Structure 1
Amino acid sequence: MSHLMNTYARQNVAFVRGEGVWLWDEDGRKYLDALAGIAVNTLGYGHPKLTRALSARLASGVIHTSNLWRIPDQEAAAERVAEITGLDEVFFCNSGLEANECAIKIARKYGHERGIAEPAIVVMEKAFHGRSLATLSATGSRKVQAGFEPLVSGFVRVPLNDLEAVRHVAEHNKNVAAVFIEPIQGEGGINVARLEYLRGLYELCQRKHWLF
């Protein structure tokens, strides 16, 4: 009997080796991995560059020093991300949930700096943003939220790809500080945000001085 808390409906399969897109279980059976760690393990398994980098870090004896000190590898990674995205600063997280929590906090902080006492964030129906209380509240699924009420307030929900719905919110809700969107909804059923919708949403955010 496992002492792990039963939070997932785990399959009775344990993987012991991986290479590229392939995995092998304890009995030597080979699997094509189409899940990629629920879309977070996009580098595959046993990538030589990643293996070398991790091995070098372990061999150095310095695995963790906390953010109280400079971390040259982290600074180099941030510089590369900034070059690719054109952004000025980077904040590294351990998970998508943490990244989304940070985004919510940034949006609320931004709203307060603009004089909004109770900043609101526009979110989409059928979205999934995580399982912490704030990200659970931003998520558009009652199945996921059930049993964890009361939820965190401050989210205004609209249908995906409905720009008029967002314009209606903009006209009637002066507390909005940001729009929170997945370009492709996974949990909600592989719903894709149309390019013209994203462009219109971005232009609206620019006019209203909302974060996007």
Structure 2
Amino acid sequence: MNNATDSTLQFLGAAGTVTGSRYLIEAGGHRVLVDCGLFQGYKQLRERNWAPFPVAPDSIDAVVLTHAHLDHSGYLPALVRQGFRGTIHCTTGSVALCGLLLPDSGHLLEEEAKYAARKGYSKHAKPLPLYTKEDAERSLRQLHGHDYERDVEVVAGIRARFYPAGHILGAAHVSLDVHGRRLHFSGDLGRQHESLMNPPTPLPACDVLVCE
């Protein structure tokens, strides 16, 4: 995405695969990351979690999270561990779920590293987890929950609005108004007829639609 303000949109994940959702918007001297997911599944995908992040984490001003599933949120503790200090914007429901899922993910990664060391199947003499439970708990301090359908200033010149997505508790599809243009990110949408969740609300008009 390019316009007079020199804005760009980069796909850092969920391209060529359905996991590791990460989209980077650069506009007006700011960097905003939409979703920060783990790559999951086949080994060649999981190994991408260990690659250097494409931009310096401490250069990212804010993260906007669609929902708490790990393929959308699970890299957040690693990003914080590497120097990201900005606010992570999401719904209040996603704050609650991340409070359960991220520490659990860190614990499982620690257990996996211990098991690899015990069984000797890692190429490393002392296998380490991608992040720890403590890293995950530290990242939770940067989450800030918002209500649906309220404008949120993420950084100067960029506003976000969360809409019910009906996928899991707190899931949202998200509009970002970026210097006069609207980008919309579908996240994961639920079904129209679901016994436990309300259906997703209609997607609003936008200039750019990123649909998973």
Of Structure 1 and Structure 2, which has the larger fraction of its residues in strand? Answer: 2
Normalised by the length of structure 2, the TM-score is: 0.31
Higher relative contact order (CA 8 A, sep 6+): 2
Structure of greater Rg: 1
Of Structure 1 and Structure 2, which has the larger fraction of its residues in helix? Answer: 1
Normalised by the length of structure 1, the TM-score is: 0.31
